[in-house]
Amino acid sequence: MADQYERSAEFVDVMIAPHWAALAPPLSQALRDVTGPVVDVGAGGGQGTRVIAEAVPEAEIVAVEPSAALRSVLLARVNESAELRDRVTVLPEGFLEAALPQKLGAVVAMNVLGHFDPAGRQRIWSLLAERLIPGGRAVLNLQPPTEPMTVPESRFADVRLGRRRYEGWGRAEPAGPDRITWHMTYRTYHDDQLVDELEVAYAWWVLDERRLRAELGGHGLAPSRTGPAELGLYLIERAGT
């Protein structure tokens, strides 16, 4: 699997950190009463893994992260916490390739679903239907745009560390009926002087709530909104529970 984050990994974890300040409370709430094992799909540098560990004490956590670059951030984060080191297993495969526990208490897929094409999503829904234990659930977010469209360039991150400041910029354009391409620019300033500029592109599959509901329905699953509306968070459970 190509590592789409190979060149941007140094920026991704620090730039996503502020979003986790907003995501952590509703994710913790959505995981209330869950028992393990919990899978963190595309754990990145482990911001969410840390939230899961706090929300579901003592549960086994499997953090799946195929990007070697981001996985090194994740492993360092796990290694530095006695609490995480004891119960987080990091797997280097993609979610659909990883050897996961046969029974799952929860699956968390934050900021990652757009990496899966429609066939891949069907395999995710099958896996949930087969492996979630009674009371088990998935928590995921749908990020805008939910249909292919042009997104004008805007700054999504501005982080100062020491004498350096890191800016993240993003724009998107349609790349097919269900796809967009995100173009990201990461700029580094030293004492406010531009010293580095990195451009990367990511392929992203878009999905809206109507289609999510229809796809899940085919597997006996149903989504419900959770948390503040602007976060686009969904709880997925067996239909009728």
Which chain residues interact with ligand SAM by CB under 6 A? 5, 16, 41-44, 47-48, 64-67, 70, 94-95, 110-112, 115
Least distance (Å) between residue 191 CB and ligand SAM = 29
Nearer to ligand SAM, 129 or 203 (CB): 203
Strand pairing partners for 170?
A: 154, 184
Least distance (Å) between residue 227 CB and ligand SAM = 14
Least distance (Å) between residue 193 CB and ligand SAM = 29
Per-residue three-class SS string for the chain = CCCCCCCCHHHHHHHHHHHHHHHHHHHHHHCCCCCCCEEEECCCCCHHHHHHHHHCCCCCEEEECCCHHHHHHHHHHHHCCHHHHHHEEEECCCCCCCCCCCCEEEEEECCCHHHCCHHHHHHHHHHHHHHEEEEEEEEEECCCCCCCCCEEEEEEEEEEECCEEEEEEEEEEEEECCEEEEEEEEEEEECCEEEEEEEEEEEEECCCHHHHHHHHHCCCEEEEECCCHHHCEEEEEECCC
Least distance (Å) between residue 163 CB and ligand SAM = 26
Nearer to ligand SAM, 66 or 148 (CB): 66
Give dist(CA 99, CA 37) in Å, integer.
Answer: 13
Nearer to ligand SAM, 14 or 222 (CB): 14
Nearer to ligand SAM, 14 or 133 (CB): 14
Nearer to ligand SAM, 36 or 42 (CB): 42
Nearer to ligand SAM, 92 or 174 (CB): 92
Least distance (Å) between residue 43 CB and ligand SAM = 6
Least distance (Å) between residue 239 CB and ligand SAM = 25
Greatest extent of the chain over all pairs of C-alpha atoms, in Å: 57
